[in-house]
Amino acid sequence: MSRVVELARLMQGNEAAAEGALAAGVRFFAGYPITPSTELAEIMAERLPRLGGKFIQMEDEMASMAAIIGASLAGVKSLTATSGPGFSLMQENIGFAAMAEVPCVIVNVQRSGPSTGMPTAPAQGDVMQARWGTHGDHPVIALCPSSVREAYDLAVRSVNLAEKYRMPVILLMDEVIGHLRERVVLPSPDEIEIVNRRETQEAPADYYAYRADETGVPPMANFGTGYRYHVTGLAHDETGNPTNDPDKAESLLLRLHDKLGRNLEDILIEDSRSLDDAEVVVLAYGATARPARQAVKEARRQNIKAGLYRPLTLWPFPTASVDRLARQARTIIVPEMNLGQYRIEVERTVRGRASVVGVNRVNGELIAPGEILQAILEVVK
C-alpha cells in the first residue's frame, strides 16, 4: 500500500469542516445543535476540551452568536454552526460582528426552507441571506464547498479570512455536502497556512481600537491583556466610542467595505473545467456543482463546447470573472437548489451580453446531471 492509500479515509463533510476549523486554530465553539449541522457541534464537544478549548451549548442561536463574539474579543478563534432557522436568529449579531470588526466564523449547513422546512433535505436557499441577512450596508465573505476535502480547506480559509480582515465569515454549506461521506486525504499540519489576527504594538494608553493603518484593518488588543476600549454596534470613532458625526460614521462604513474591495485577489477563489473554448458555461456552486461537472463532461463527450465555472467565494461576488464569462459565452446556465438567488446576481453582471438560464429545484432533492445536460442541449440545438 502506498502512503496515500494509507492516509485516505472516509470522512463526512461536517466532520471535515470541524477538523478544518480545529486545524486553523479554533478553540471556542458556542452553538445550538440543528440538523443538518449537528455533527459539527458533536465533534467540537468531544474535541475542544481535549485541546484546551471550550464548547458551550447555548440556549439559542442568538446567544451562540453573542458568545463567539465575546470569545473572539478575548483572543480565541471562535466558531458556531447552524442551519437556516438558526442562521435567521444569528443575523443581528452577525451585523454586530461586522460593525465591531470581530473575527468569527459561522457555518450554515443549508436545509430546505423557508422556516423549519424539511430539516433533513438539502437546499441553497440562504445564498441571499448570507449576503443580506443582517441589516445595513455590511461587508460579507461567504465561502461554499463542493466536496468533503473542500469543506476542510474552506473551513481553514474561513478562519484565516476572519482573522485577517476582522470580520464574520460564513462557511455556506448544504445538506448534501454536510452529510456526504467520501474518500479524502487531508493535508499534513505543515501544509496548512494559518493566519492569526494582527495584534497591536501600542501600549494600552496609546491604543486606539479602531484606528486603521495602511492595511485598513485595525490591529486588535485582546480583552484581558490590559487594554480597555468600547465595543459597540453603534457607529463609532477610532476609540470605539459611539458617534453621530456623519463624516466619522461614513468613513467607518466605507473602510469596512474597503477592507474587502482592496483585497479581492486574496478573497476570491474559483475553479473551472473545460472553460477555455466554452460557448455554454454552467456556473454552479456547492453540491450543485457536482451534477454540473458530470453534465459538462457528458456534453463534451457529445462534442458540445460546454464548461464549468465554480465560485468557491460566493460573496463578495466574483464580478470580474463573471464579466469575462459574459464576453466569452453565448449562454450561462445557473443550476441552484433555490429559485434563482445567485442567477439574479449573474444577470446583473452579464447585462444581456449572454443569455442566462436557470435550472432550479426546491423539492429538497439535489439537481440531477441529466437536468443540467438537458438545459445545455436545449441551448445548442
Partner 1 sequence: MGDRTELRLSGTGGQGLILAGIIMADAAIRDGKNSIQSQSYGPEARGGASRAEVIIGDEEIDYPKVTNPNVLLVMSQEACDKFASDLASGGVIIADSTYVQELPAVDGQICKLPISQTAREEVGREMVANVVALGAVARITGVVSRAALTEALMARIPRGTEEINRKALELGWQLAEQGSTGVL
Where along the sequence are the contacts to partner 1 (CB under 8 A)? 1, 5, 8-10, 35, 119-120, 176, 179-183, 287, 290-291, 293-294, 297, 366, 368-369
Nearer CB in complex with partner 1: 357/372: 372
Q: Are 205 and 229 within 8 A, CB to CB? A: no
The CB-of-373 to partner 1 minimum distance in angstroms stands at 11
The CB-of-2 to partner 1 minimum distance in angstroms stands at 9
Q: Can you tell me whether residue 31 is helix, strand or coil?
A: strand
The CB-of-370 to partner 1 minimum distance in angstroms stands at 8
Nearer CB in complex with partner 1: 102/186: 186
Residue 141 parent element (H or E): strand 141-143
List phi, psi (to 5°) of 266.
-80, -30
Q: Could you tell me the CA-to-CA distances from 52 to 40, 45, 225 in Å, in that order?
A: 18, 12, 19
Q: Are 148 and 290 within 8 A, CB to CB? A: no
Q: Are 322 and 350 within 8 A, CB to CB? A: yes
- β-pairing verdict for 280-283 and 331-336: parallel
Nearer CB in complex with partner 1: 35/196: 35
For 131-136, the CB contacts below 8 A with 24+ separation are 131/314, 131/315, 133/87, 133/88, 133/91, 133/94, 134/91, 134/92, 134/94, 134/95, 134/98, 135/91, 135/95, 136/95, 136/99
Nearer CB in complex with partner 1: 35/274: 35
Nearer CB in complex with partner 1: 218/335: 335
What is the Cα–Cα distance from 265 to 320, expressed in whole angstroms? Answer: 11
The CB-of-296 to partner 1 minimum distance in angstroms stands at 9
Nearer CB in complex with partner 1: 113/369: 369
Q: Are 141 and 313 within 8 A, CB to CB? A: yes
Nearer CB in complex with partner 1: 119/340: 119
The CB-of-247 to partner 1 minimum distance in angstroms stands at 53
The CB-of-310 to partner 1 minimum distance in angstroms stands at 12
The CB-of-109 to partner 1 minimum distance in angstroms stands at 14
Nearer CB in complex with partner 1: 1/205: 1
Contacts of 271 (CB under 8 A, 6+ apart): 310, 312
Q: Can you tell me whether residue 44 is helix, strand or coil?
A: helix
Q: How many CB atoms lie within 10 A of CB 320?
A: 11
Nearer CB in complex with partner 1: 239/294: 294
Amino acid identity, position 55: F
Amino acid identity, position 314: L
The CB-of-291 to partner 1 minimum distance in angstroms stands at 5
The CB-of-232 to partner 1 minimum distance in angstroms stands at 40
